[in-house]
């Protein structure tokens, strides 16, 4: 397949090339590429019947199901702007994103796990009770006109059922959808994705077909995928890594994609073995959960040899096979990957660098304070420009986003080596500067998680009159562990230099870790809790009850 310029081009090419091969696989079902194409056509006709067209802002709040994939292609194929909504959303998160994105048509699962999305929506839009299935006019969400609910109470006031939505497709001729797809331009907006803001409201990232479709295809190329591959992943699709890296990278190359609504190590290992998975996308903590599960040693995962992961913590294959996968640098604002290693590069390069620039992109390293370029090989802020870079933040002046040369300042530190490969350092705002010395939180966290009984560690700056900042940290204590304060402090003295040792520690359970609506840890909340408790208890180690 040649590089696609739009999402309908990507899907059409895949369906024609791989029609009978498995595209999507779940524990209970299997969709071929032809099945996926037919489902996309049906949902597209249903969307047209619902009034969706070019420029419509269509929100989807749904767990990882085959219909998530089909819906994304159906909406973007009509020229609509697709707004994936976090399944981690709480009421305030949901209200903010729907209002900020100006969502006109909302499609959602009534419930998922412990989340009652329909209940949240009824609180946000009390006018639903009076809408009686017609147009919605809401003071909280002035752009919202229609809500379609999957599952739950079929008689949900003001909402259309998923079954009624699907049935309306029969009234729309296929030629209408074909004509709308033909009018989609590579420069048309396709995704409005929300960042994970841990200290402020998330930002809406506007991406266009050309960047999303081409970058998705390129990720599959770099990973070395083909029609013989089977890919397992656990990311929610609403993440850019899910709906670009995983979904588009896999389907543009004829591989099969294994879906799970939520991550469970046991069923994941069962699916990996049953489907003879050859590739995976995962983060280090997920690898740890898989390899520590009792089924790891009794399930066959020997075929896994391709993968993607974040920065230099990535391990792309089982640790005992020594193969690894591709490593990349990127973010939501760059359609995920902006630089990437290739699957056939030597393992040390794939594990220690983020690779070369992907085609047509530009990169510069500048002094974070002055914006002036730094000498080759010196660390500085990573600035990026190219087709994969966001068109804009929604409702934000581009002058606040790009510099005078059109580069996006990422807020990340890194350097480029003599071979032109990028080495990521860390987020600028995460750096702890204590007594004039820079301390990397990641360095501290790597040492702290070596303590038996510590499941995760989060380091952050604490204010200090004497040194400006000192190190603070929160430790997630594994369930059932009886780790002592003395052992923790002794470990800190043994493995951390004096200036890197936390001045105060917060011990808590996994359930007590504050998260954003898209699943990122809110270090600022941990910092504030630690500061409040240390002032109250006058202790260096605080245990939350």
pLDDT tier, 426 (very low <50, low <70, confident <90, very high otherwise): confident
Q: What is the pLDDT of residues 125-136, one digit of tens each?
A: 999 988 765 689
pTM greater than 0.75: yes
Residue 307 pLDDT > 70: yes
Check residue 406 and give its pLDDT: 96
* pLDDT for residue 37 is more than 70: yes
The values of phi and psi at residue 431, to 5°, are -65, 135
Q: Spell out the domain ranges in the chain.
A: 29-206, 431-543
Q: At residue 44, does pLDDT exceed 50?
A: yes
C-alpha 8/C-alpha 26 separation (Å) is: 24
pLDDT tier at 312 (50, 70, 90 boundaries)? very low
Strand partners, 364: 383
Alpha helices of 293-368 — where are they, by DSSP H? Answer: 347-352
Q: At what angle do helices 485-495 and 441-448 cross, to 10 degrees?
A: 130
Alpha-carbon gap, residue 42 to 370, rounded angstroms? 53
What pairing do the DSSP bridges indicate for beta strands 279-281 and 230-233? parallel
Structure tokens belonging to residue 191: 């995704």
| pLDDT given for residue 517 in this prediction | 61
Average pLDDT over residues 265-284: 91
pLDDT band at 431 (very low <50, low <70, confident <90, very high): confident
More confident residue, 400 or 436: 400
Residue 484: name the closest of 475, 494, 472 by CA: 475
Torsion of CA 350, 354, 356, 357, to 10 degrees: 150
Q: Assign 67 a pLDDT band (cuts: 50, 70, 90).
A: very high
What integer pLDDT is reported at residue 332 of this predicted model? 92
Nearest Cα residue to 192 out of 304, 332, 289, 315: 332
The CATH number given to 431-543 is 3.30.300.30
The residue that leads in pLDDT, 206 or 493, is 206
pLDDT tier for residue 24 given thresholds of 50, 70 and 90: very high
Structure-block tokens of residue 291: 């390899």
Of 202-216, 308-322, 491-505, the poorest mean pLDDT is in 308-322
Instruction: Give the single-character DSSP code of 476.
Output: E
Output the pLDDT for position 206.
98
Average pLDDT value for residue range 431-440: 78
Regarding predicted confidence, which is higher, 495 or 112? 112
Q: Report, as an integer, the average pLDDT of 462-481.
A: 89
Rounded mean pLDDT of 291-307? 88
Q: What average pLDDT does the chain have?
A: 90
* Distance between CA atoms of residues 374 and 51, nearest Å: 52
Topology (CATH level 3) of domain 29-206: Rossmann fold (3.40.50)
147-161, 391-405, 511-525: range with highest mean pLDDT: 391-405
CA–CA gap between residue 65 and residue 69 (Å, rounded): 7
């Amino acid at each position: 397949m040649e590089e696609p310029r739009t999402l309908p081009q990507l899907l059409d090419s895949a369906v024609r090339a791989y029609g009978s091969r498995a595209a999507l696989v779940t524990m209970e079902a299997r969709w071929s590429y032809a099945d996926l194409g037919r489902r996309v056509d049906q949902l597209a006709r249903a969307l047209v019947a619902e009034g969706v067209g070019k420029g419509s802002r269509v929100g989807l709040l749904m767990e990882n199901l085959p219909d998530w994939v089909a819906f994304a292609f159906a909406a973007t194929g009509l020229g609509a702007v697709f707004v994936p909504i976090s399944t981690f959303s709480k009421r305030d998160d949901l209200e903010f994103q729907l209002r900020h994105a100006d969502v006109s048509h909302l499609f959602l699962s009534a419930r998922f796990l412990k989340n009652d999305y329909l209940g949240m929506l009824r609180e946000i839009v009390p006018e639903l009770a009076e809408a009686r299935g017609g147009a919605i006019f809401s003071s909280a969400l002035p752009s919202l006109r229609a809500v379609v609910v999957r599952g739950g109470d079929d008689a949900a006031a003001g909402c259309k059922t998923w079954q009624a939505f699907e049935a309306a497709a029969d009234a729309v001729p296929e030629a209408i959808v074909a004509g709308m797809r033909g009018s989609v331009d590579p420069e048309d907006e396709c995704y409005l994705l929300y960042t994970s803001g841990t200290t402020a409201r998330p930002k809406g990232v506007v991406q266009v077909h050309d960047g999303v479709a081409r970058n998705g295809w390129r990720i599959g190329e770099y990973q070395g995928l083909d029609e013989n591959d089977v890919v397992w992943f656990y990311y929610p699709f609403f993440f850019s890594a899910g709906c670009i890296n995983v979904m588009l990278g896999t389907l543009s190359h004829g591989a099969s994609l294994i879906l799970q609504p939520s991550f469970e190590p046991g069923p994941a290992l069962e699916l990996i073995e049953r489907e003879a998975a050859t590739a995976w996308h995962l983060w280090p903590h997920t690898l740890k959960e898989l390899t520590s599960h009792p089924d790891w040693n009794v399930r066959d995962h020997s075929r896994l040899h391709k993968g993607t992961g974040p920065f230099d913590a990535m391990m792309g294959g089982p640790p005992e096979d020594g193969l690894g996968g591709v490593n990349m640098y990127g973010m939501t604002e760059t359609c995920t990957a902006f630089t990437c290693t290739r699957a056939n590069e030597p393992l040390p390069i794939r594990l220690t660098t983020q690779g070369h620039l992907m085609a047509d992109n530009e990169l510069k390293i500048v002094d974070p304070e002055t914006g002036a370029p730094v000498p080759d090989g010196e660390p500085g802020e990573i600035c990026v420009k190219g087709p994969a870079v966001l068109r804009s933040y929604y409702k934000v002046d581009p002058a606040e986003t790009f510099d005078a040369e059109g580069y996006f300042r990422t807020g990340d530190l890194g350097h480029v080596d003599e071979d032109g490969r990028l080495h990521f350092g860390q987020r600028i705002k995460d750096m702890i500067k204590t007594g004039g010395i820079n301390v990397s939180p990641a360095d501290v966290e790597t040492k702290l998680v070596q303590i038996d009984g510590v499941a995760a560690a989060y380091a952050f700056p604490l204010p200090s009159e004497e040194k400006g900042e000192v190190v603070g940290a929160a430790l997630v204590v594994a369930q059932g562990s009886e780790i002592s304060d003395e052992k923790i402090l002794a470990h800190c003295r043994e493995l951390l230099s004096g200036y890197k040792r936390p001045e105060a520690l917060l011990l808590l359970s996994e359930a007590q870790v504050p998260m954003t609506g898209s699943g990122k840890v809110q270090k600022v909340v941990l910092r504030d809790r630690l500061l409040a408790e240390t002032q109250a208890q006058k202790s260096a180690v605080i245990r939350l009850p």
